[in-house]
Amino acid sequence: MENSLQTIVPFYLAGLWQIYANCYHSDAEAARSFTYFRLNDKIFKVENWNNFVPFVRKMSTDL
């Protein structure tokens, strides 16, 4: 699975958790890997990073 969201504003934050739901709470086979393509300077801004880290932790604990 891959994703290309560039910022983690509230709209995209909901998108991250939708990705999680699609990976683990759907009828499809669970994801075995996840690639975040747009890991750029915007993600490392405090307001984005503080939203991105919990998502990554949750994805990695459930893989």
Residue 54, pLDDT above cutoff 80: yes
Q: What is the number of other CB atoms lying within 10 angstroms of the CB of residue 60?
A: 9
pLDDT digits (tens, 9 = 90+) for 11-41: 577 888 888 888 877 677 766 777 777 777 8
Percentage above 90 pLDDT, the chain: 0
Domain layout of the chain by residue ranges: 2-62
Measured torsion, CA atoms of residues 48, 46, 42, 6, in degrees rounded to the nearest 10: -10
Question: What gap in Å lies between CA 40 and CA 28, rounded to an integer?
Answer: 30
Name the phi and psi angles at 35, rounded to 5: -115, 130
Is residue 46 pLDDT above 80, yes or no?
yes
Stronger pLDDT, 26 or 57, i.e. the higher one: 57
